[in-house]
Amino acid sequence: MRKIERVEERVAYRNEFVTVFDDKVLFPSGRSGTYLRIEASGGHPGVVLVPIHNDRLGLVFNFRYPIARFQWAFARGFSIDGDVETSAHTELFEELGATASSFELLGHVTPDSGLQSSRVAVLLAHVAVVSAPTDRDEVAATQWVTLDEMLTLVDEGEIEDAFTLSALMIYLRRRGQVAS
């Protein structure tokens, strides 16, 4: 099976967070074309956190500009200097006002592999201390829910964020709560 080949890498846009490429490609059929690709600046994995405190999962309520509405989700963010644990500490504190006693790497997700080259680390955060979030621009509210309450939110369509659903599945699988 042949891959889509990059003929020319072309930067269409760049800022501190992402680079957008509009690459010239050659498809397996021999047809030429273009392919959009979004890469996180620095090319390092971002993080999505499964925060646990007193048997409750931490959620943030953020306004998501691209879809023009609020969503309940796990805390997440871009890489900070390529260090996953530093990124995790920062996002946890900013979005949930929490500090973790430890982190456990559960796996990785590729959030939109048809457009983004990003690979995101899924970390279980064992939260020791909870205060107020420091990010007042993006975080509208937080809540700590039981696993049953979270699954009800998923069932009712209140949680539809792909990062959160992917991270939740990996977490449940690690706990043996999803059959193999």
Tens-place pLDDT, residues 27-66 = 999 999 999 999 887 777 789 999 999 999 999 999 998 8
- For residue 91, being part of any structural domain is answered with yes
Percent of the residues in the chain that have a pLDDT greater than 90, as a whole number: 68
- For residue 30, being part of any structural domain is answered with yes
Helix (H) or strand (E) holding 87: helix 84-96
* Arithmetic mean of pLDDT over the chain: 91
Q: How does DSSP classify residue 63?
A: E
List the CATH number of the domain containing 82. 3.90.79.10
Domain residue limits at 22: 5-41
Same domain, 10 and 57: no
Same domain, 78 and 110: yes
Confidence band, pLDDT 50/70/90 cuts, at residue 179? low
Whole-number pLDDT of residue 177: 78
SS3 label, residue 10: coil
Same domain, 54 and 141: yes
Same domain, 20 and 104: no
Same domain, 77 and 146: yes
Same domain, 100 and 12: no
- For residue 180, being part of any structural domain is answered with no
Number of folded domains in the chain?
A: 2
Whole-number pLDDT of residue 2: 85
Same domain, 85 and 137: yes
- For residue 52, being part of any structural domain is answered with yes
Q: Are the CB atoms for 64 and 39 separated by under 8 Å?
A: no
Whole-number pLDDT of residue 180: 60
Same domain, 117 and 154: yes
CA–CA distance, 31 with 25 (Å, rounded to integer)? 9
Q: How many CB atoms within 10 Å of residue 178?
A: 12
- For residue 125, being part of any structural domain is answered with yes
Same domain, 33 and 68: no
- For residue 179, being part of any structural domain is answered with no
How is 90-153 classified by DSSP, letter by letter? HHHHHHH-EEEEEEEEEEEE-TTTTTB---EEEEEEEEEEE---S-TTTEEEEEEE-HHHHHHH
Same domain, 111 and 163: yes
Q: How many CB atoms within 10 Å of residue 96?
A: 29
Q: Which of 3-7, 37-41, 45-49, 134-138 has the lowest mean pLDDT?
A: 134-138
pLDDT tens for residues 143-164? 999 999 999 999 999 999 999 9
Same domain, 110 and 28: no
- For residue 92, being part of any structural domain is answered with yes
73 token code pair: 């989700």
Check pLDDT > 90 for residue 171: yes
Same domain, 132 and 54: yes
pLDDT tens for residues 58-93? 999 999 988 999 999 999 988 777 788 998 999 999
